[in-house]
Every structure is written in structure tokens, then in C-alpha cells.
Structure 1
């Protein structure tokens, strides 16, 4: 199981280079760092939890990427907030530029955005997001078929809709179950028991 430091973990401001540096400083307890990604109107990629950034909003995604590449072994969960097919290919090229293809993946990708992501960033794997509970085995099986259809790594969901049945069904197909955002040890321990593959937290040290 991996642990992901949510953007703004360790009581830092979300989506800032300072936060990235602080998370890297704690990297012995985590394997993955999350960055939110969107674009300014001119296509400049920035870290921001919003679909669009104003011309002066957001800190440079490239600066964060470079810092992580040079100062850690962490993988990066890029939580996509904008799916503009004119802008996304530049992200693919940046990740190749810093030799990070094996350490980067996307989340925030709904089923209907998967094809855009695949065509714009063909070198980067991704998880399918899902927001509603899957109560029956049929619902789980139908969802898994969609994940396989889009050639995704698995699913990234709110921890409240994770279940042992979902976890087992995904694993039977070689798929992964990632959950967000868990900030207390009791919940983390419950999720470990159902064998989730990743837990995202603002307090990663509680997951150990």
C-alpha cells in the first residue's frame, strides 16, 4: 500500500512550492505527492484547485515538477482540473523533459474525459474517478468494465464509498483502488483492512 500526501499536507498552503518542499522533506513516510493542475488562459500550467486560473493565479507546475524530480524519489499524482486538449499535451512534454514518465499519473479523470486524456497525454497512466456508491456486484462489475475499456490503472474514490467487495473485485482484474482524503487513524486502519492500494491524506504520518 502507498501513502499520498495531499496538496497542502503538513499544515501548509495547498498548491504552493513551499508546500511541495515541506512534503518532500517528509518523504520517508510517503511514496506519492498530489498536485492539482489547471491552466492560465495562455495555457501556462499552474497548481490550483480550480477548473481555470486567472492570468496571475497559481504557482508554476513546472517548478514543482523540477523540484520533486531533483530532490526526491516520490511519484506524483496530478489531479487534473482542466482537460483542454490544446493545453494538455504540454504537460506530457514537461513530464518527459524531466524524465518523470515512470513516476507520474493522473487522477480527477471521469469516464467521459478519459479519451481526451489518452489522446492528449498518451504516455501518462491515469485512474478513473467515481463519486457515487456501488451497492451491488453488478454495479461494481459494470464499473470495472468501464475502467478496463479506458485502460486505466484503477479507480480513485472518496474513502466513504470504498468497500471490501469493490477492492476484491478490482484486484481480481489486476486493477487498483485508491482512496481520498483520510485524515484520522481509525478510518485509515479500516481501509487497510479492506486492502486499498493507496490512501491520500493531509496527515500522512497517521497512516503508517
Structure 2
């Protein structure tokens, strides 16, 4: 079962920062997950629509320039990183789950993946995931082979139908949706099931027993210990 650091190791370091990703790597995760948003053609690794929760800035993310956003403190002196900085940090034995958080991210992400050093980064190192069906549909149009992950917090049948349509590699239901029956259904479709976001030791044990293929977690150390 894969251990996937959610926004790095956000329970242990400021989320979606290089510090958080380094912490996840130190803990021996199999993969890291993070969010990307398009700011004037630049891909920043950031989750929220607004700045207050995770930085010393304020207002809507999309209302600000890239220079202003990069000047902010994202926790413990860390900056909001560019996507290419995060990818450069990740070692080749760790897969990278890029969640398309904002609109107009698909083409920029796929362009970057295409430009990466093929000796270091293989296509199978990446999963491109999202709640945004339109973005994932575009990803599949741009690349018939890239691994796609479909995220679902509700209506699993609808999400699974879309996952089938885009030939998804993996299905990412929330903890509240996952069941042994869903795991079996996803496996019958030929996909892997990675559940999000699981932090409590009892829930970690519970989903392990259901046969999930991986766990997104804020605390990778807890999954390793379980």
C-alpha cells in the first residue's frame, strides 16, 4: 500500500512548501500530492482561493501578481513555490501527484511535463488529478498515456463513470465514501484506489483492511507505523 504525502507532510510542516515536501521525503513516502494554480501563466503550488489561512497575505489569490504572491510568508519563512521547483526537489523514486486546483492549469502542466528531462522523469512518475472534469478531459486529449486520477467527495458513481471515460489510472474517493465494495468496484474497472485524507490511526487501519492501494495523509509517519 502506497503512502502519499498530502501537500507534502502538512501535519508536520507548512502545507505545499518546499519544507513540507522535504519532510515527506525524509519520512520515506511513496508519493507526494500537491495543488497547482495558474497565476498569469505561472504555475504556483497553492491550495486555497484566498491567502489568509496559509500566508501572511490577504484577499483572493487570483487578484494578486506573481511578485506579490512570491513575497509572502507561507509559514516558517517559506515561500509559495513554483511547480518546477517542487518537481526538481522530488527524487526519482517518489511519484508526483499534481492536483489541478484552478482552471486553465491542464495545458500548462502538460507542457511542463513534456519539457522535463526524460532521463530523470518518466511519464509513469506522474499522476494528474482533479475534481475538475473539464481539466482532466483536456489532459487526456493532450496525452493519451499520462496517468489520470479522478477525485470524488460525493456521487461516486458519477465520478467513476467519468474515470472510465477518460481511462483513469486511479480513483481518489474521500474517506467518507470508501468501502470494501467501492474498492472492489474500482479494481474491477482496472484502476487503483487511493483514499483521501486519512490521519487517524483507527481509520488508517480500517482502510488498509478494505484493501485500498494507497492513502493520502498529512502524517506519513503514522501510516508507516500502522
User: Structure 1: where are the runs of 5+ without partners?
Assistant: 135-139
In structure 2, do the counterparts of structure 1 residues 161 and 109 end up closer, same or farther at CA, with 3 Å as the change threshold?
same
Report the TM-score, using the length of structure 2 for normalisation. 0.77
Q: How far did 1:203 drift?
A: 0.9
User: Structure 2: where are the runs of 5+ without partners?
Assistant: 50-60, 70-79
CA distance in 2, matches of 1:193, 1:133: 23
| Residues paired across the two proteins, number | 197
1:47-62 alignment, distance < 5 Å: 47-50=45-48, 53=62, 54=64, 55-56=66-67, 57=69, 58-62=80-84
Q: How far did 1:125 drift?
A: 1.2
1:110-132 per-position Cα deviation (integer Å, ceiling 9, x unaligned): 43432112234555211112221
1:151-196 per-position Cα deviation (integer Å, ceiling 9, x unaligned): 1113111111101111111112221111111111100111011111
1:179-198 alignment, distance < 5 Å: 179-198=195-214
Q: Superposition RMSD on alpha carbons, in Å?
A: 2.3
Report the equivalent of 1:11: 12
Residue 45, structure 1, aligned to residue 43, structure 2: yes
Report the equivalent of 1:63: 85
Report the TM-score, using the length of structure 1 for normalisation. 0.83
CA distance in 2, matches of 1:86, 1:192: 35
1:1-208 alignment, distance < 5 Å: 1-9=1-9, 10-27=11-28, 30-41=29-40, 43-50=41-48, 53=62, 54=64, 55-56=66-67, 57=69, 58-69=80-91, 73-84=93-104, 87-95=108-116, 98-132=120-154, 134=156, 140=157, 143-208=159-224
